[in-house]
Structure 1
């Protein structure tokens, strides 16, 4: 059984224009997508595509719908519906494989480990989920970071095999050649990180502009999960976010204990997001309206109405905290 739990500490540290730091504890589910049917049968407190204390819906992740890609001449362009929109959607793993194939990555015969928050009592808000993709020999070949905001938009960032670097390197795929994992690294312990700095082009927070860069460091999880996402404006790091913690077995006993150890976790996550957004606003950190730069918000799923319909020049959008309080 590859699926498991990770008990994690989340830390956010904003450096500019005002310092702001906080940390809290959560747990994440790491689900091997091939094991979903077995998990549904084996666990009493967890269900797949059905209500339960804890549940997982494939439709919450990586849609098969076209992405929103506006142009400067038509920033309100709507995604064109796919030709098979009326048919049953493919499985989540099939969607991941199709997404990777579109980026030139063949995962035929491989497996996908999704690290994410589950639904708890039917409610879900997941600021970010991670897909770690392994070839048929068990070696990590790709990773996806799936970022969600409170407007229900979703954007995947793809880190292919060329982004794997040695731990001592701080190079990025767009500036350095790929490095090879150590020859003696076994599939179960090889956590050589995927590293990539890429334009954000996504409205994650009213306190971070959409044209900064995300800097990902994603280590394939082993006995410990460790990921980091930094924000960069040019060469200046403005914020760092880390998620790290040890592996735990995925059992009904563990899930029952987490109900009390992490009560209403997904509701707590969204509450903390709004609370820290309020604190940033009280600190007079400058904020950016979502509708201000629609042409720079691209490659995303489920575009908000502010992106797909021209807004009135006189319209003043309300302040609304979004996703991580970055």
Structure 2
């Protein structure tokens, strides 16, 4: 099983093919951690990497793992203490935005039991999908959550989510009637989670989580100015402590 914690220097690409063609690219870095054992950083580095249970699931659990276990229990899944690997952005200087957090959930025998994909939008809302990937990491699920203001809540996601190793290589495609109008990929290389590595990445990608949120909003403005209509947003699913 993949060792954790680790850092991944990644390129995130969003490709929209309909009704307008548009591409978003940005570089950032993400953490792979054991959900039961978040990394313990030296005091001076803690502002650059903090994992807060308020940022995941209901935001009310005492730990990220407790929030995950409560979500799984609602869906009839008990990991019996098995290991969970979590891929996410950490809070950087008090701010975090995680468009996609992934949890690879194992049983006590080490076998993969399921994957949870937790999606956040820029309205402070979040939603989690319980997935059962095949041996290649492929899974499908119906879209149940408002993410982009330019797509309604319909269609299906086709995902390829193999657990990270020396590299991370993830794909999420939105499938609607008539085609696949949106594809997102996350690809990058693994680095040991050392203080000097974190400092190097923090210098190269300053305010990394704020930059991710800003890039998504800026590209949304560009699409709106190009005439792409905004789809109505369903009732809010905002979590009480999100982004605080």
Structure 2 length-normalised TM: 0.89
Partner secondary structure for residue 286 of structure 1 = coil
- The separation in 1 between residues aligned to 2:45 and 2:119, in whole angstroms, is 24
Larger radius of gyration: 1
Structure 2 CA distance for partners of 1:144 and 1:235, relative to 1, 3 Å: farther
SS where residue 50 of structure 2 aligns?
A: strand
2:166 counterpart residue number: 223
Q: Which residue of 2 aligns with 1:95?
A: 67
Give runs of aligned pairs for residues 158-307 of structure 1, distance below 5 A: 158-160=130-132, 163-165=133-135, 192-198=136-142, 200-290=143-233, 293-294=234-235, 300=237, 302=239
Provide the C-alpha distance between the structure 2 equivalents of 1:194 and 1:212, rounded to a whole number of angstroms.
17
Number of equivalences: 238
Q: Give the corresponding residue for 1:178.
A: none
Q: Which residue of 1 aligns with 2:78?
A: 106
RMSD: 2.0
Comparing both structures, which one devotes a greater share of its residues to strand? 2
1:27 aligned to which of 17, 26, 29: 29
- Which residue in the other structure is 1:61 paired with? 56
SS in 2 for 1:119: coil
Q: Does 1:2 align with 2:9?
A: no
Give, in whole Å, the separation in 1 of the partners of 2:89 and 2:180: 27
- Give the Cα separation in 2 of the matches to 1:43 and 1:115: 21
239-248 or 217-226, which deviates more? 217-226
Contact persistence 1:63–1:301 (CA under 8 A): no
Partner of 1:11: 13
1:243-297, Cα deviation, whole Å (9 max, x unpaired): 011111111111111121101111111111111011111221122132xx44xx8
Offset of 1:213 from its aligned partner?
A: 2.2
For structure 2, the 5+ residue unaligned runs are: none
Matched, 1:150 2:150: no
Q: What is the distance in 2 between the residues matched to 1:120 and 1:276? A: 22
Separation in 2, partners of 1:235, 1:221: 32
